[in-house]
Structure 1
Amino acid sequence: MKPFLGLLALCFNALVLQAQEADILIKNGKILDGTGNSWYYGDIAVKQGRILAMGKLGKYTATKTIDAKGLIVAPGFIDVHTHIEDDERRNPAATNFIYDGVTTVITGNCGLSRADIGSYLRMIDSLKPSVNVASLIGHNDVRKAVMGSARRDPDATEMQRMEAIVAKAMQDGAVGLSTGLIYIPGTYSKTDEVVRLAKVVGQYNGVYATHMRDEGDSVTQAIEEALTIGKEAGIPVEISHFKLSGQQNWGRSKQTIQMIMDARKAGMDVTIDQYPYTASSTSLSTLIPDWILADGNDSVKARLSRPEVQKEVEKYMLNRLKKRGLKHFSYPVVASFRADSSYNGKSIEAVNLMKGRKH
């Protein structure tokens, strides 16, 4: 018995000694542990980059102690909707995320990523960013790599090539497929095409994240399409920046949220994200008819050089304004136009006035 007690005492002493030593000790914070439980006061010991213990850790010592009195201590937030494809090169410290408590970001949203995910992730690793980075494979870039800006369905060979690109991306570390079905060339795709690619993602336990085909008048049809893709592919669905665009659609959120809740009750894994402001950031190309943008820049310029096409586009844009209860293009502001920086910060209306145009 004595040898056993002696061994037990040695083990206990070793555990106490180990428990008392940490690299970082965060004390006196309000701990929200991410489980859904209520917050509680406590301490957190960290050793070699991992949580060693949580609770009342009065006997612990550490190389660095942080007094979190009056502060909330929580796991790093995961930002599921970012577009950081080039930002990490300029700011690998990612201070804009870190200062807000974000420690993991998901990029490649809205159908926009790099077609070569493996190369992109290797570049990210070489920068040693201060946040964890995961990427979706963007449908638009996959389609563009195979079909350019063609306004048609893929043929059998093109479909197989797109499936191969998605499979390679998943093998290289992508976490799922994203679509931007209001953007060129994704807007030219049909539901079946996306389902085919989503099924490839399902083979690697990936997710489907979508900037839906419509967030305004046809939002319910767009939600149904997103849910259909997830059901047929057998993968989780994440609907990006869930909202209702246009004053005429205000109040429909009870219906759209109920659609999500009904899908979840039926056993589907579907989630949504939302931003807490009334503005949006996108390409000006979304304001003009999608057929104008088909087949590359040269074709676009040729179409827009024709006066009758210009009038048709103008009519289309003004009709969109009317639907939103607006009378002029003072609401969208150019954030960045590389070809002419004098446009930056100006509304479309201001640019037209600068150019001597009436609209």
Structure 2
Amino acid sequence: MNQDLSIECRDIACEEPDDADGDRGIDYILERSREWNIKIMLSMGWHALDDVTLLKNTSRNQTVQALAPALKHGILVICANGNSSSINIMPPSEFLAVGGYNDHGFAKAELHSPHPDEPYGRNGDGHFRPDILAPRVYLPVPYCETFEQPEALSYFWGTSGASAIVAGMCAALLSRYPELQADTLRNVLVDCGVSFEGYDNQAPRVNAANVIKALDNGYSKSNALYRAAPIDVRNSFTAIVSGDPIERALGLTLLLEEQRCGRAELWAYTQDPSSVVRKIAAKALHKPDSADERTTFWTNLREEQEGGVRGWYAYGLLQEATENEVEHWIPWAADPNWSVRWCVSRYLEKFPGLPKLEMTYDPDEIPGKALPVLEWLEFDKKGNN
């Protein structure tokens, strides 16, 4: 980008609306959208008012409802897709959903890799999310800690940071191409992205150079992205036996909301082929209610292949954890799932004399942070033999 480009559009970070106050805030912004030349809005916490595991149609989300008028005004709503595979809910297809990847600090695409704890897949409407990926590790910003250090940097993390990068890119592009419409901008970002080979996540990495080249060569695809109508589940008992995992997850959510799902049924759903359903069931169990269930929690944690589901088993086990379980906990210190490592960290903090696990958002640092804890366990085992 040329450094003399002026940013002509406002990047509005939307806080979670408080019913009428939130609606009035959006109305206030939209009334001034022409005067302020607002072309994009950034929402970094669109799901903050929701249970992140129960799956629902996105239209039931308060922030989605509040931002609907912005979409009608032709404003591109950019949002963070989420930071852990332990979540199920993801943004509506009307938003440009930004996920993340690990660039390892390098610009070259061949040195990038998928983030191991990245949420992706179909949302509560049945639509695949996210749309694009951007770096989500070690994003530098001016130093913003307690004491000012002009020559130092702070670091931003997660898909909040990734979506902010994309919002800034969009602002610069709209400054350079002022006639660019929201649908064309969205299309060119996705069409010019660079995909990871062999990665199940369909979203490509955003690539500004490819986008500028395409626009300079006359890219003009303006059709809105077609999405099938949202899945409509009204009968929970029919949905829960559907062949579609999203329908089953929606059905299980309804059963839980209606308080028509017992503990035995939840245990059955922990064996569902879909990790989306298993996450709902594992979280709904909350914690073991007997010694036998605690054993089953540990067994399921060890056998579970999907990191997000492991996160909910670890959280349940943390609730009434005892110090004599330390040999069960420490081996999970290097798990790629943030929630699992967070539970290990909280467990170790509960008991004096146990080592502490330093948390990190950087996947490359996980083994190094876990090593002192794992070594402590090996030393302790030798000392007790």
Same fold? TM cut 0.5: no
Structure number with higher strand proportion? 1
Which one scores higher on RCO, CA 8 angstroms, separation ≥ 6? 2
- Structure number with greater Rg is 1
